[in-house]
Amino acid sequence: MPELPEVEVSRLGITPHIASETVTDVRIYNPNLRWPVPEEVKALIGQRISQVTRRAKYLLLESSVGSAILHLGMSGNLRIVPIDEPLKKHDHIEICFNNGKALRLNDPRRFGACLWQRPGAQHAVFAKLGPEPLTDAFTAKHLFDVSRGKRVAIKQFIMDNHVVVGVGNIYANESLFKAGIHPECEAGKVSLARYQRLTPIIKDTLAAAILQGGTTLKDFAQSDGKPGYFAQELLVYGRKGLPCVTCFTELSEIRLGQRSTVFCRRCQRK
């Protein structure tokens, strides 16, 4: 599943091609995605895209009449192509521009989304989201305060979008390893000092992944079709049974929230 860095890389990739360009057509080839694609999205036709922004793992193509909201789901990707390039299987949405280019949402599993947000309104998908992890609103004190009394495992806690958005499975594994925190540790028992260590690590891990182009996953490619490169630097994720890069103990794997969780029993403490 594309995580926050992959979505941000997609935003950076498509922005130079569509920002300040005028939409000439919106083509909905398959409206049956995670939610039905609303016809209001076609209000973009004739409008200039003022900017492309991101909230959590949603991308917003903003205009004066509203914003198209795109989500990549589990297997989706965005591509910038010439308008006359033949469609590929699973191309569900196409937004055409006056510069001869088109933005296509391709999603084999159809868990992605294309929604519409009116000016001055907030779509329901943005309600109750936590702070962005790469902003000043995401602090150790925030994590500490929200975690008090919580018995949920720390890994599931930092992956909760109500707590902080965009810390997906890969980056939760990596961040907890770097911070030396056992993934099963109860969030409410983590001290402020440990949150003060964990918070900048989460920020640095996500920022590094964005800088290097996102993590290479079998279903992910950047808008130019090239994969990300951060997977080359993963320390624990996907390395079950291999030696810890710090102490050489064999890395263990458990399931938390039905997600693979790899960690070092010696370096990560409850």
59-60-65 Cα angle (round to 5): 165
2 is catalytic: yes
Among 5, 8, 54, 57, the active-site one is 57
Reference 7, options 217, 158, 173; nearest CA is 217
Taken in order 211, 212, 218, 224, the sign of the CA dihedral is positive
**Catalytic (active site) residue 57:** yes
* Count of all residues that appear for the chain in the document: 270
Q: What is the Cα–Cα distance from 22 to 49, expressed in whole angstroms? A: 6
Binding residues for DNA: 90, 109, 150
- 259 is annotated as an active-site residue: yes
Annotated binding site: 90, 109, 150
Distance in angstroms (rounded) separating the CA atoms of residues 67 and 190: 40
Catalytic residue among 2, 5, 133, 183: 2
Structure tokens at 206: 């996500």
Give the integer Cα–Cα distance in Å for 167 and 205: 10
User: Exactly one of 27, 42, 259, 266 is catalytic; which is it?
Assistant: 259
Q: From CA 103, how far away is CA 233, in angstroms rounded? A: 30
Which of 3, 8, 21, 94 is catalytic? The answer is 3
Residues acting as catalytic residues: 2-3, 57, 259
